[in-house]
């Protein structure tokens, strides 16, 4: 049962335009959400996060939006650059006792075309 | 990938052999997570360890797989009697203190079982 879903396995965008990557979740106990970026043959790199008490977090070209009622979050990249081409993973976190566990989506492969 | 070390980067084993994957967390981090990424799939949580303790091993296969994080030295993921289905990328991540959510990943070890 996939608690974190990234329904688009791939996305292609022109350089300079906006990239929108979507993520849906099912567990209402999730209270922290993260986006990671992964290049081939490398480990994932933390990109941006958002707490459930917020609905938006912005860091440079990257903005994450959270819609708790819809259990949906999205990552906006604007303007998109060819170097943004990578696989983007959405992850959600819930407290379990004294610990936390990240639940990961399957990823969306973004291609930014020059 | 800030400072988490994994070795070897690539490992080739024949069926029935043992594979040992090592992970040195970032300086000051005492929490280690192991993930596996099978071809064409997302990241799957395997195990979460603190120094000398296994906190959550709910993602570990019941047989042949074990993990440790000794007081001194790196964390070790050990796979005994490897089979072809164990071929995957194995990533280690570390964090400074749960319930801090952000995990920092190493470059991964790519295991190929012949």
Q: Which of residues 43-102 of B touch A (CB under 8 A)?
A: 43-45, 48, 55-56, 91, 93, 98-102
Tell me the C-alpha to C-alpha distance, in Å, between residue A114 and each of A16, A33, A87. 9, 30, 18
Could you give the CA distance from residue A44 to residue A37 in angstroms, rounded to a whole number? 5
pLDDT at B38: 86
Chain A residues within 8 A (CB-CB) of chain B?
32, 34, 36, 41-46, 49, 89, 93, 95-96, 98-107
Contacts of A53 in chain B (CB under 8 A): none
Is the CB of residue A17 less than 8 Å from the CB of residue A11? no
A21-25, A94-98, B110-114: range with lowest mean pLDDT:
A94-98
Contact A23, A4 (CB under 8 A): yes
Report residue B96's pLDDT band, with 50, 70 and 90 as the boundaries: confident
- Is residue A95 within 8 A of residue A31, CB to CB? The reply is yes
Residue A81: asked if its preceding bond is cis (omega within 30°), the reply is: no
pLDDT computed for residue B109 by the predictor: 97
DSSP state of B86: G
Strand order in the sheet with B19-24: B5-7, B19-24, B75-79, B65-68
Q: Where does the pLDDT of residue A64 fall: very low under 50, low under 70, confident under 90, or very high at 90 and above? A: very high
List CB contacts (< 8 A) between A42 and chain B. 1, 107-108
- Neighboring chain A residues of B101 at a CB cutoff of 8 Å: 32, 34, 49, 93, 100, 102
> Which residues of chain B neighbour A101 with C-beta distances below 8 Å?
45, 48, 56
DSSP state of A10: E
State residue B1's pLDDT score: 46
pLDDT tens across A65-110, in order?
999 999 999 999 999 999 999 999 999 988 777 677 788 898 999 9
Encoded tokens for B30: 């005492």
- For residue B57, pLDDT beyond 80: yes
Q: Which of B41, B32, B37 is nearest to B6 (CA)?
A: B32
What is the distance between the alpha carbons of residues B108 and B1, in angstroms, rounded to a whole number?
A: 10
Q: What is the pLDDT of residue A1?
A: 67
- Residue pairs spanning A and B at CB distance below 8 A: 65
Alpha carbons A84 and A5: distance in angstroms, whole number? 21
pLDDT at residue B100 in the model: 59
Minimal Cβ distance to A42: which of B41, B100, B107:
B107
Cβ of A43 and B105 within 8 Å? yes
For the segment B68-94, what is each residue's pLDDT rounded down to a tens digit?
999 889 999 999 999 999 999 999 999
How close is the nearest chain A Cα to the Cα of B99, in Å? 6
For residue A32 the two structure tokens come to 């922290």
Rounded-to-integer distance, Cα B50 and Cα B31, Å = 5
pLDDT at B39 over 70: yes
CB contact under 8 A, A106 and B41: yes
């Amino acid at each position: 049962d996939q608690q974190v879903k990234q329904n688009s396995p791939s996305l292609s965008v022109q350089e300079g335009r906006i990239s929108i990557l979507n993520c849906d979740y099912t567990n209402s106990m999730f209270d922290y959400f993260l986006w990671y970026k992964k290049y081939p043959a490398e480990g994932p790199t933390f990109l941006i996060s958002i707490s459930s008490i917020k609905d938006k977090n912005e860091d440079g070209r990257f903005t994450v939006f959270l819609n708790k009622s819809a259990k949906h979050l999205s990552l906006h990249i604007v303007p998109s650059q060819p170097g943004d081409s990578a696989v983007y993973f959405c992850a959600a976190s819930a407290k379990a006792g004294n610990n936390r566990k990240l639940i990961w989506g399957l990823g969306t492969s973004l291609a930014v075309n020059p | 990938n800030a400072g988490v070390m994994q070795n070897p980067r690539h490992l080739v084993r024949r069926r029935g052999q043992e594979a040992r994957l090592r992970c040195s967390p970032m300086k000051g981090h005492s929490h280690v997570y192991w993930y596996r990424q099978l071809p064409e799939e997302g990241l799957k949580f395997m195990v979460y360890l603190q120094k000398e303790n296994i906190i959550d091993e709910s993602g570990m296969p019941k047989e042949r797989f074990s993990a440790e994080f000794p007081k001194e030295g790196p964390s070790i993921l050990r796979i005994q009697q490897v089979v072809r289905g164990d071929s995957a990328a194995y990533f280690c991540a570390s964090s400074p203190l749960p319930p801090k959510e952000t995990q920092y990943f190493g470059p991964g070890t790519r295991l190929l079982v012949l």
